Structure 1
């Protein structure tokens, strides 16, 4: 099979880049004996980020990213080999003559349809076209939550070819994070004893401005650590005495920063899954999230909630978690239980089952 790994070398890989890497690793660990996985990307000088353990390649097609995006949208080569082609984003060879076997496309969220203002105009339009095309031509569309399936189905016809397959917790968050490692990373990054953490690409839909607005309503010794690369728009805050912009971190440092936080805050206006949410639960950090349906489904009511864009509500719930040991203990216990139900091995097992069904129907 061929796994399209192009998102890993995108200018801002984001959560979909992380999904590509984690899915690739999990598929490679559990591949049936008679299957081989090859990666595929556009032409890049540095292909390092697209190299995934256990996956051959990646094979670089002889065109850069922007050209590949246009060619596949127009139904033009390059063709993609493999009994199954899995595109981990809507950048996919949807035209039937561009592949031999079955096509699987992962669609991570319905934001281009429901909240196009939270993306660039060009990006929203491209995603709408490619998602609609995948819905018509792919042999299976994978979505991460029932909430995404339900909303997306109101915009495109997914019929019975949609598969709801969740996501998992990265290995760094499954290993014990010791107090010593937390203290060492915190000191190196200049973080105080008490801080909130917000993880994600800095873009408008993440709702970071709501967290910034809530910060003055919290005790002065509570700071905010912001982890993630800049995306687009004016979502990136300015660093200040209480706001620490950490940028991208290694998985080990990220796990330590999240484990050391007093509360992990997720203020998104729309999401498809929410990997940072379940990763925070896995390391025992209380979670506070906006009350969007996706977060409710993934967190299973183990997280405290506030209304979208409600800074006062966010501050009130954060204050409760900061001041009540009993509430913190309950939140940590509930979160750890939820996190055990999100494993990349389970994701891979369901994908291999899907691939087997598709190849059987193709007679390959």
Structure 2
């Protein structure tokens, strides 16, 4: 008897900037493999032309390299019924998904509604592609997974055909929770090599961490709100501590150094670390005075969750998904309000009792999120779709 197989599209792991979606893909793959129902196996597929080793995940089969490069594969899946993927069920961690044969399941993750709510923070081409791809997923998939109720509500407004929505949150990687000698085989963002075992003190010395600093984590692009953060730190009421920024360069030609010069941030107050390994991120999070998340729009906000789990106060924008995720454990400030952000940061850093309360509330909130719980809920969608398809096969491919 054939072993039932779940195939996950791991293409985002080969992207020039995997970003938060790449992080989601890798962590979900690990958790799916660890929680697989008896008899099921998990494997991945990717396009040709990239380094498939970047999509390797322990405990997961593959990746199988499909016979088309990324752009051609995207077009083929959008307009054709080829190449198919041999699987009992398919999970697409982005709206890039293959045609699925009759009697097979399909679940697609939609991370946010930014292509509708904030299209100016994406390339024009990217916004159009995502809107069309999500609408197609709403028609074809058995279920759409979204990370927050905020995304679910917004998606229903923009895509009325999206009726099969499941809200399933994310989790915290073990490497981020273990700042000691944990080893990691992948970076928080692309471009940083794997690390060997080091103690937290050794990592802090290598990273040249100052005694006190603010931390921001995210791809360097317009949607992440870095301009407003730097403007806030240049305000007279802002705390005079350095800002460390972790993240790979994205689109939009955002230059942190140019922003600092334009807004008069004193030299030495901004340090860009680029992408870092998870075990370095763990140390950065635990030693920071606060994590700052000034995003214009988010679907979940994984750095906020990881900071709360690491015992770090969080100051975040009032983007609905971030407000929902923090649930009062952080301090929310209006988006694009540099003065309010500066005041909030000063208050948190100047009031130890406030910071201690935020740390306690953040730890309690973060304890409700776990990648294995996420994976079990995703598995229920796939096994349910496979069972339903077996009992009532569809007459045509999707």
TM-score range, shorter chain: over 0.9
Structure 1 residue 45 displacement after superposition: 4.4
Distance in 2, matches of 1:117 and 1:347, equals 31
Long gaps (5+) in structure 1: none
2:246 pairs with 1:227: yes
**TM-score normalized by structure 1?**
0.95
Matches within 5 A, 1:136-147: 136-147=139-150
Q: In the alignment, which of 73, 76, 89 is matched to residue 78 of structure 2?
A: 73
| 3-state SS of 2:158 partner | coil
2:210 pairs with 1:192: yes
Matches within 5 A, 1:225-304: 225-238=244-257, 240-304=267-331
Distance in 2, matches of 1:326 and 1:126, equals 47
More divergent stretch after superposition (80-89 vs 185-194): 185-194
Q: Which residue in 2 is equivalent to 1:104?
A: 107
| 3-state SS of 1:37 partner | strand
Please list the CA deviations of residues 139-178 of structure 1 after superposition, one character each: whole Å capped at 9, or x if unmatched. Answer: 1111111100000111113454111111001112223559
**Whose relative contact order is higher, 1 or 2, with alpha carbons under 8 Å and at least 6 apart?**
2
2:337 pairs with 1:310: yes
2:29 pairs with 1:2: no
Structure 1 residue 220 displacement after superposition: 6.7
**TM-score normalized by structure 2?**
0.87
Q: In the alignment, which of 29, 34, 43 is matched to residue 29 of structure 1?
A: 34
Structure 1 residue 96 displacement after superposition: 4.8
Q: Does the 8 Å CA contact 1:136/1:157 hold for their aligned counterparts?
A: no
Q: Which residue in 1 is equivalent to 2:137?
A: 134
Give RMSD over aligned pairs: 1.8
Q: Does the 8 Å CA contact 2:309/2:366 hold for their aligned counterparts?
A: yes
Q: Which residue in 1 is equivalent to 2:227?
A: 209
Distance in 2, matches of 1:231 and 1:279, equals 21
Q: Which residue in 2 is equivalent to 1:46?
A: 51
Q: Does the 8 Å CA contact 1:2/1:40 hold for their aligned counterparts?
A: yes
- Corresponding residue pairs, total: 361
Q: In the alignment, which of 15, 18, 21 is matched to residue 13 of structure 1?
A: 18
Distance in 2, matches of 1:262 and 1:343, equals 25
Q: In the alignment, which of 353, 365, 376 is matched to residue 326 of structure 1?
A: 353
Q: Which residue in 1 is equivalent to 2:172?
A: 169
Q: Does the 8 Å CA contact 2:138/2:144 hold for their aligned counterparts?
A: yes
Structure 1 residues 121 and 160, CA, compared in 2 at 3 Å: closer, same or farther?
closer
Distance in 2, matches of 1:201 and 1:336, equals 25
Q: Does the 8 Å CA contact 2:155/2:162 hold for their aligned counterparts?
A: no
Distance in 2, matches of 1:258 and 1:354, equals 34
